[in-house]
């Protein structure tokens, strides 16, 4: 077998065999396939797609390119959630204590933020002392003790994905569904999961802005997860505005702790609702509950009883963070002193929000990364005070930007102001959960 | 401008601007665009094609990536021929003295053989002493003195093409028409031509086996040449069997000298006919003759008068070869002592020939290159004794293989025997010149 023959076959629209895909991916990992051959193949896959069989084989080959974790000693079902990413999407921090308190076990391998979306690891680091670089044995111990653990990806997990991702970024082949699916599912499966819920965002702050595209991705993710023996379900959920009020790192952790403590507002309720729904689906997939109704009730119960907050507190302590943040949330790294009000330029209703623009504005102000190597200021934030459908008068506040730098803060406030479209008629309400894909 | 944005645009089927193509090609030459980006772009071009405007811009950018020769001091029209390659295709060695003797000037930059096709440089080197590594000033002097000069490509001509070609070979993107056209036309235009005839082969020994594919290539070549100010015409010609009788290096030069000397046989006549037709079209394109009829008459006249042979003799001498080969052709490097008869397995008519298989058999026996770094034995040859339509009896000779090595020779004879299909009915005659594309 030669790499160029495999490239040619995909170029001509042929279906690659399992052996051909294994040969190619193992060459990617070992370096035997040159980078210029990999990128020609990536473009051929981008333009010609993959069949279900190819998709499974690619995902499996990427999974087997590295270490596969195994938590068989922990006698609970292993379950996780993946989100395709959005603005203000912080459900991971609620879902993990929810499902752990309900008897499942969530070994969560997370990433850093890049572009307009944040990353769970960055958020967690705004809890003083919190470690996201646990060794595998530390990770396993925390998981056993608390029912969930949250950590960064190690170099041993799916190394083929790291190489492919770097090349995709440089060759405009990021957005191909087969490549996205293989990247996500191979990494998730490497954590030894039994079941997985997938939150596919759709709308102005999502990677997939169009519903049909989101649907295709959701189907491919669920199908591939199931084909690899991980019971999977995908939800298509709204990302036409920030999820909840907080966009930033400290501020998102703060919002989560408030929600875990039962402090819910109109603006933050969607975060809780979506977290409960996803966590409930995870319980059903994990076979802890037999119906979605009983699963929802169980999650609400662990929330209202404070069991989930207690689970979170244990995890923070086990991962070397300051557990007092659960009682005194102001112990989270604070916001900046300087703040910048975003005013509505006119009276009317919020009809549309460019959520991606809000994400980019906060990233550029230092709250996220424009480039992989950027440092993050966890205090930079935007707190939204309006949601789509809300009425507003000229000069009233849309929200507040926090930034230590005058120019950065002002610039972000101007960008965010322009991201809100104020119209004359109240728009129809947006459904938070749009579709369930089995 | 960033390379990945240009890749994305081509990926999405957009039309690249002249500036974008110039930026990309100059990055290829300088090394600023990484090889993995180039190859992703090559695959996107392969699958999405190029418009005429993009094709011209790409060819021009590749032309300007290196040195452009200029023979303005020679007061004759500069004209050349390009062939897409075939088996036994040796017309270059006849056409150059034909057009030179008729008053044009042919600065010929040629290549080496690879795969099933031979290369003019390899053939010329079977003339004892003949140099194909002239300096630019030597090349110019020979051109001025003899009306034609034949040389290898220097590193200074179209360096972007060399880099792209190596990547295309490794990434299965060789066969894309826009890339083929840019490669051919940029190198030809770098020789400062006024006019160009293009011989696009079609059939079992051609790179393009299908007529429609050959036609698309021929149109793109002629159109792009004309768009760059080089008056161009393409002919689609038959390559369903070796052109003439000789396949190999020494033996092809021998056949050409015999033809220049007026020694024409039924088997070698197609070489002469095609050479006259191409040379005549070059005279018209060069505006030396005003009609194709008068041009054909002029070429026949310089052939029959011996003026073309004299031109060839002068060139051999000027390029340090032994000019006595023109009078005593046996001075060309001889054939091997060992020969292997290829017998017809049955009685009937030659109905079909796999010309590519003959080319590969001779290359593998040492008469060509399987890999770029292979050495050539110029004595290895196949001399065909039958053409499509000829009648043959079981056991009679199809042709003879020459090889110094017993095993190689026998193996080649077996392969070539299998490349001839003998049937019961005489097939329709093949047209040598199938189509003219303006």
| Residues of B labelled catalytic | 82, 161, 168, 183, 187
Chain B residues in contact with A43 by the CB 8 A cut-off are 7, 11, 39-41, 43-44, 47
Is B206 strand, coil or helix? Answer: coil
Q: How confident is the model at residue A413 (pLDDT cuts 50, 70, 90)?
A: very high
How far is it, in rounded angstroms, from Cα A127 to Cα A5?
Answer: 51
Chain B residues in contact with A49 by the CB 8 A cut-off are none
A317-327 average pLDDT score = 95
A144 close to A74: Cβ distance less than 8 angstroms: yes
Beta partners for residue A399, in sequence order: A342, A384
> Which of B37, B44, B169 lies at the smallest CB-CB distance from A170?
B37
Query: Above 80 in pLDDT, residue A105?
Result: yes
Q: Does B172 touch chain A (CB under 8 A)?
A: yes
pLDDT digits (tens, 9 = 90+) for B143-152: 999 999 999 9
Give the residue among A204, A199, A217, A156 at the shortest CA–CA distance from A420: A204
Smallest CA–CA distance, residue A85 to chain B, in Å, is 22
Among B24, B40, B41, the residue to mutate for chain A (most A Cβ within 10 A): B40
A232-257 average pLDDT score = 97
Range 173-232 of A in CB contact (< 8 A) with B? 173
> Which of B4, B11, B173 lies at the smallest CB-CB distance from A40?
B173
* Cβ contact A39–B44 (<8 Å): no
Structure tokens given for A90: 């912080």
> Which of B11, B36, B47 lies at the smallest CB-CB distance from A167?
B36
Q: How confident is the model at residue A118 (pLDDT cuts 50, 70, 90)?
A: confident
A228 close to A220: Cβ distance less than 8 angstroms: no
Ranges of H-type helices in B49-176: 52-63, 92-101, 120-124, 136-146, 159-170
Structure tokens given for A71: 């938590």
Could you give the angle at which helices B269-285 and B250-260 cross, rounded to 10 degrees? 70
Chain A residues in contact with B11 by the CB 8 A cut-off are 43, 46-47, 172-173
Clarify whether A216 is annotated catalytic: no
pTM above 0.90, yes or no: no
3-state secondary structure B212-278: HHHHHHHHHHHHHHHHCCCEEEEEEEECCCCCCCEEECHHHHHHHHHHHCCCCCCCCHHHHHHHHHH
What integer best gives the mean pLDDT of chain A? 94
Burial pattern A217-233, b for ≥16 Cβ within 10 A else e, equals bbbbbbbbbbbbebbbb
Query: Above 90 in pLDDT, residue A229?
Result: yes
CA atoms within 13 A on the CB side of B420: 30
Q: How confident is the model at residue A116 (pLDDT cuts 50, 70, 90)?
A: confident
pLDDT digits (tens, 9 = 90+) for A52-65: 999 999 999 999 99
How far is it, in rounded angstroms, from Cα A240 to Cα A419?
Answer: 11
Confidence at residue B115, expressed as pLDDT on a 0 to 100 scale: 80
Phi and psi angles of residue B80, each rounded to the nearest 5 degrees, phi first: -145, 170
Query: Above 90 in pLDDT, residue B250?
Result: yes
Range 21-50 of A in CB contact (< 8 A) with B? 34-44, 46-48
Which stretch of A370-379, A392-401, B339-348 has the lowest confidence by average pLDDT? A370-379
* Cβ contact A172–B7 (<8 Å): yes
Nearest CA in chain B to A167: B36
User: Which residue segments constitute the domains of chain A, with CATH numbers given?
Assistant: 3-49 (1.20.970.10), 79-159+167-329 (3.40.1030.10), 334-423 (3.90.1170.30)
Chain B residues in contact with A175 by the CB 8 A cut-off are none
Contacts of B35 (CB under 8 A, 6+ apart): A34, A35, A36, B167
* Cβ contact A42–B40 (<8 Å): yes
Phi and psi angles of residue B85, each rounded to the nearest 5 degrees, phi first: 100, 135
Chain A and chain B share a number of CB contacts under 8 A equal to: 82
> Which of A3, A7, A172 lies at the smallest CB-CB distance from B11?
A172
* Cβ contact B167–A36 (<8 Å): yes
* Cβ contact A11–B173 (<8 Å): yes
Burial pattern A109-132, b for ≥16 Cβ within 10 A else e, equals bbebbbebbbbbbbbbbbbeebbb
Helix, strand, coil share of chain B (percent; to 5): 45, 15, 40
Nearest CA in chain A to B10: A172
Confidence at residue A329, expressed as pLDDT on a 0 to 100 scale: 85
Query: Above 90 in pLDDT, residue A388?
Result: yes
Query: Above 90 in pLDDT, residue A157?
Result: no
A33-47 average pLDDT score = 97
Chain B residues in contact with A44 by the CB 8 A cut-off are 43, 47
Nearest CA in chain B to A6: B172
Among B171, B176, B179, the residue to mutate for chain A (most A Cβ within 10 A): B171
> Which of A4, A41, A43 lies at the smallest CB-CB distance from B11?
A43
Smallest CA–CA distance, residue A224 to chain B, in Å, is 26
Smallest CA–CA distance, residue A44 to chain B, in Å, is 6
First to last CA, chain A: 37
Query: Above 80 in pLDDT, residue A90?
Result: yes
**Alpha-carbon distances, residue B31 vs A114, B24, B180, B401 (angstroms):** 28, 10, 21, 46
The torsion angle over the Cα atoms of residues B91, B93, B98 and B100, rounded to 10 degrees, is: 130
Confidence at residue B373, expressed as pLDDT on a 0 to 100 scale: 80
First to last CA, chain B: 37
ipTM of model over 0.95: no
Q: How confident is the model at residue A131 (pLDDT cuts 50, 70, 90)?
A: very high
Query: Above 80 in pLDDT, residue B114?
Result: no
> Which of B34, B171, B173 lies at the smallest CB-CB distance from A170?
B34
B164-172 average pLDDT score = 91
B195-201 average pLDDT score = 97
> Which of A4, A42, A170 lies at the smallest CB-CB distance from B172?
A4
A399-417 average pLDDT score = 96
Chain B residues in contact with A48 by the CB 8 A cut-off are 47
A362 close to A381: Cβ distance less than 8 angstroms: yes
Return the higher-pLDDT residue of A292 and B429: A292
Query: Above 90 in pLDDT, residue A92?
Result: yes
**Alpha-carbon distances, residue A265 vs A235, A299, A332, B429 (angstroms):** 24, 19, 20, 88
Q: How confident is the model at residue A332 (pLDDT cuts 50, 70, 90)?
A: confident
Clarify whether A135 is annotated catalytic: no
Chain B residues in contact with A27 by the CB 8 A cut-off are none
**Alpha-carbon distances, residue B233 vs B82, B123, B150 (angstroms):** 10, 26, 22
> Which of A39, A40, A167 lies at the smallest CB-CB distance from B172?
A40
Q: How confident is the model at residue B112 (pLDDT cuts 50, 70, 90)?
A: confident
A125 close to A378: Cβ distance less than 8 angstroms: yes
Confidence at residue A337, expressed as pLDDT on a 0 to 100 scale: 86
Among A172, A174, A213, the residue to mutate for chain B (most B Cβ within 10 A): A172
Chain A residues in contact with B42 by the CB 8 A cut-off are 40
Q: How confident is the model at residue B77 (pLDDT cuts 50, 70, 90)?
A: very high
Which stretch of A328-332, B80-84, B416-420 has the lowest confidence by average pLDDT? A328-332
Confidence at residue B332, expressed as pLDDT on a 0 to 100 scale: 83
A13-37 average pLDDT score = 96
Clarify whether A187 is annotated catalytic: yes
A39 close to A176: Cβ distance less than 8 angstroms: no
Phi and psi angles of residue B325, each rounded to the nearest 5 degrees, phi first: -60, -25
Q: Does B257 touch chain A (CB under 8 A)?
A: no
Return the H-helix or E-strand segment holding A302.
helix A292-304
Confidence at residue A416, expressed as pLDDT on a 0 to 100 scale: 97
A103 close to A221: Cβ distance less than 8 angstroms: no
Nearest CA in chain B to A175: B8
Q: Does A136 touch chain B (CB under 8 A)?
A: no
A217 close to A184: Cβ distance less than 8 angstroms: no
* Cβ contact A40–B35 (<8 Å): no
A384-398 average pLDDT score = 97
Chain A residues in contact with B39 by the CB 8 A cut-off are 36-37, 39-40, 43
How far is it, in rounded angstroms, from Cα A44 to Cα A9?
Answer: 9
* Cβ contact B171–A40 (<8 Å): yes
pLDDT digits (tens, 9 = 90+) for A280-300: 999 999 999 999 999 999 999
The catalytically annotated residue of A183, A204, A214, A344 is A183
Query: Above 90 in pLDDT, residue B133?
Result: yes
pLDDT digits (tens, 9 = 90+) for A195-207: 999 999 999 999 8
Confidence at residue B438, expressed as pLDDT on a 0 to 100 scale: 82
Query: Above 80 in pLDDT, residue A372?
Result: no
How far is it, in rounded angstroms, from Cα A157 to Cα B426?
Answer: 66
> Which of A34, A46, A169 lies at the smallest CB-CB distance from B11?
A46
């Amino acid at each position: 077998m030669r790499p160029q023959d495999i490239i040619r076959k995909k170029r001509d629209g042929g279906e690659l065999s399992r052996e051909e895909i294994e040969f190619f991916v193992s060459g990617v990992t070992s370096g035997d396939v040159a980078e210029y051959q990999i990128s020609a193949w990536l473009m051929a896959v981008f333009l010609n797609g993959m069949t279900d069989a190819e998709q499974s084989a690619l995902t499996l080959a990427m999974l087997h390119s590295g270490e596969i974790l195994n938590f068989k000693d922990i006698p609970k079902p292993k379950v996780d959630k993946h989100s395709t990413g959005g603005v203000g999407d912080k459900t991971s921090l609620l879902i993990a204590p929810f499902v752990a308190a309900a008897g499942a076990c969530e070994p969560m391998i997370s990433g850093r933020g890049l572009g307009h979306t944040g990353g769970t690891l960055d958020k967690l680091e705004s809890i003083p002392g919190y470690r996201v670089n646990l060794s595998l044995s530390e990770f396993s111990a925390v998981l056993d003790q608390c029912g969930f653990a949250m950590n960064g990806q190690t170099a041993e997990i799916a190394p083929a994905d790291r190489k492919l991702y770097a090349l995709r970024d440089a060759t405009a082949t990021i957005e191909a569904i087969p490549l996205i699916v293989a990247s996500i599912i191979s990494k998730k499966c490497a954590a030894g999961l039994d079941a997985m819920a997938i939150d596919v965002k759709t709308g102005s702050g999502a990677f997939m802005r169009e519903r049909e595209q989101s649907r295709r991705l959701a189907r491919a993710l669920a199908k591939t997860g199931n084909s690899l023996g991980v019971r999977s379900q995908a939800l298509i959920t709204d990302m036409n505005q920030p999820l909840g009020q907080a966009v930033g790192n400290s501020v998102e952790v703060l919002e989560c702790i408030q929600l875990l403590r039962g402090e819910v507002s109109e603006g933050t309720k969607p975060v809780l609702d979506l977290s409960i729904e996803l966590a409930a689906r995870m319980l059903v997939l994990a076979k802890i509950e037999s119906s979605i109704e009983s699963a929802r009730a169980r999650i609400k119960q662990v929330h209202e009883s404070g069991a989930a907050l207690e689970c979170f507190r244990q995890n923070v302590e086990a991962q070397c963070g300051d557990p007092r943040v659960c009682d005194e949330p102001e112990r989270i790294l604070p916001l900046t002193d300087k703040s910048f009000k975003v005013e509505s330029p006119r009276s009317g209703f919020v009809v549309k929000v460019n959520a991606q623009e809000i994400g980019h504005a906060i990233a550029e102000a230092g709250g996220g990364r424009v480039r992989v190597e950027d440092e993050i200021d966890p205090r930079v934030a935007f707190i939204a005070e309006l949601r789509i459908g809300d009425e507003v008068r000229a000069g009233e506040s849309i929200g507040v930007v926090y930034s230590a730098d005058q120019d950065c803060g002002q610039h972000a406030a101007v960008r965010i102001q322009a991201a809100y479209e104020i119209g004359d008629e109240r728009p129809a309400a947006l459904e938070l959960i749009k579709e369930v894909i089995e």
